[in-house]
Amino acid sequence: MKPTERQYDAIVVGGGHNGLVAAAYLAKAGKTVLLLEAQGELGGATTSVQAFPDYEARLSRYSYLVSLLPDAIVADLGISFKTLDRSIASYTPAHHDGRDDGLLVATAWDDATADSFRRLTGSDREGEAWRRFYGEIAELARAGQMPQPLPLELYCHTLTDPTILTPELIDKGFHTLTLFGLHTPASLFDADPKQSRALASERALASLNQFLLDPIESVLAPCSDGTPAIEVKSPLDLENDIFLPRGNIFHRDLEFPVLDDHEQAGDRPRWGAETDDPHIFLAGAGARRGGGVSGIAGHNAAMAVLAGG
């Protein structure tokens, strides 16, 4: 019998991490589930791919790694899964007062970050200016201009997980870098997607190079066609490739995760996955408690379905 000829208790549209979590919870509860996925493999934005044919390195092309998956979901579903914690957003080496030092910035502003700015600059002024700078950059993006310098998040995942690479590449000293450009909404790419993508790449490299002794281009792996092993994806590419609305990793503007009292009204708990249609639930990042690569939205959608019987 074909899948379309059967009756199912639930149909999950999309086999990304949230869809997989929702389907697994429903199946574990004894429901018959049909999982639909448009791509040739499951995983959605979390899949790792060999982006460069010349190098056997499997990169997370579209997403952060699944680093926020709660222990409760891992235990509930019996997943063999382990995360490697990293609390530092950036560290920039510096030579100060005759000794090697560096600027440490935590993933969330904290005393250690403030102390690092204060130690290198002698006051709190530069730390405060750094925080103001990010507010100004956000204003530029809203005004329709490509920020310069371009704020970045940069990750070297091979420092914590070298299995991304083959043993041969590891022996040769290869590493991977994932660069996440900030304040670059889809509207910046609408008029001329190709040129805007090239400009974003140029400004990203320039922003990175201002903190390096040698330009990053000097150590980039070359592909067989002579181009450097760089792949650039804009918000429009994310929308086209994996159906993220306007390339927004959260699908839409986030909402406060706690429901108001009037939203909780009724005889059943609400999970933030409900819609106006009692048979349709949001299991992705656009759900009330969605966002992040955590699987929480998938869990909540499954709980909402099961609460309905």
Contact criterion met (CB below 8 Å) for 145 and 138: no
CB atoms near residue 81 (< 10 Å): 12
Q: Which residues contact 219 (CB under 8 A, 6 or more apart)?
A: none
CATH number listed for the domain at residues 3-48+61-83+251-307:
3.50.50
CA distance 176 to 174: 7
Name the segment(s) of the chain with CATH classification 3.50.50: 3-48+61-83+251-307
CA distance 151 to 302: 37
Contact criterion met (CB below 8 Å) for 290 and 296: yes
Q: For residue 278, what are its two tokens? A: 């009692």
DSSP 104-156: EEESS--HHHHHHHHHHHSSSHHHHHHHHHHHHHHHHHHTT---SSPPEEEE-
Per residue of the chain (309 residues), what is the pLDDT tens digit? 566 678 999 999 999 999 999 999 999 999 999 999 998 889 888 888 899 999 999 888 876 667 678 889 999 999 887 777 677 777 887 877 888 888 888 877 889 999 999 998 899 999 988 878 766 766 766 777 888 888 888 888 888 889 899 999 999 999 999 888 888 999 999 999 999 999 999 999 999 998 888 999 999 999 999 999 999 999 999 999 888 889 888 777 766 555 665 555 555 557 888 888 989 999 988 887 777 788 899 999 999 999 887
On whether the pTM is more than 0.75, the answer is no
